[in-house]
Amino acid sequence: MHRFTDINESVALADIIERSCGHLDLVASWEVLLSVYETLSFVDQITDDIRLSEFREIIHETNKFLTRAKKGLRSTANVDDAIAYLNTQFNTKDSQNVRNRTQLAYNKLKQQWIVQTKYALEELRQNFITVETEESDV
């Protein structure tokens, strides 16, 4: 029974990785980026051209991060390893060397993604703990 659960966990983990690490699209992410700017209190009167340029840079950096995260998560053996990997990504060099607001917004978006993905992984882990407990009770 336990081996079947390990296979199911691997399949579920791979599914979460694929869904979570997809690249962002500028247009589809527009509201999310505006929300991040609002959260960070970026309320100045920049032009639409400047905002578009900043958003493109944020999306580009986020997509680079998602590519690295996907590779790193794929190298993990199980859900616990995946969560541990995400913990190492939370406070990295790029979040400590913020020089402008696009970098700050990128790091905020990255941290939000890490928290959401960790939540999904923790929920998955809890579901498998529940299944294993139910199987051992039978």
For 13-26, the pLDDT digits (tens) are 889 999 899 898 88
Q: How many whole angstroms separate alpha carbon 128 and alpha carbon 33?
A: 34
Neighbours of 105 (CB within 10 A): 23
Could you tell me which of 54, 64, 76, 78 has the C-alpha nearest to residue 2?
78
- For residue 31, what pLDDT band results from cuts at 50, 70 and 90? very high
What share of the chain has pLDDT > 90, as a percent? 58
Beta-carbon count within 10 A of 76 CB = 17
Predicted confidence at residue 91, as pLDDT, reads: 80
- For residue 90 the two structure tokens come to 């939370």
Q: State the average pLDDT over residues 103-132.
A: 88
Indicate whether 32 pLDDT > 60: yes
The average pLDDT across 61-76 equals 95
Contact 33, 104 (CB under 8 A): no
Asked whether the predicted pLDDT for residue 4 surpasses 90, the reply is: no
In this predicted structure, the answer to whether residue 112 has a pLDDT above a threshold of 90 is yes
Alpha-helical runs (H) found in the chain:
2-20, 30-39, 48-74, 79-89, 93-96, 101-137
